[in-house]
Amino acid sequence: MYIAMVLLGYREREAWRKTPYQIVTLFRYHKEYNPHIFRQERAAVPQAAEELDDIDIALGGL
């Protein structure tokens, strides 16, 4: 829900209608077409970032 509503900008009703696959796929496209947003976050992540996937990095490793 966080990715759909905060990072992708969907309303709550629209987010609930998306499947997890759709949200993850849309997030990958968002990351691909907006690299300037995620470049700063990757620089702040320690070397353990190799173990984290893109969603964990965007969520701050929660």
Report the pLDDT value the prediction gives residue 62, as an integer from 0 to 100. 60
How far is residue 43 CA from its own chain's centroid? 16
Tens of pLDDT along 6-61? 989 999 999 999 999 999 999 999 988 888 877 754 455 555 545 667 777 777 76
Q: For residue 16, give both structure tokens.
A: 């609930």
Global confidence as pTM = 0.58
- Report CA torsion sign: 52, 56, 57, 62: negative
Report the pLDDT value the prediction gives residue 42, as an integer from 0 to 100. 46
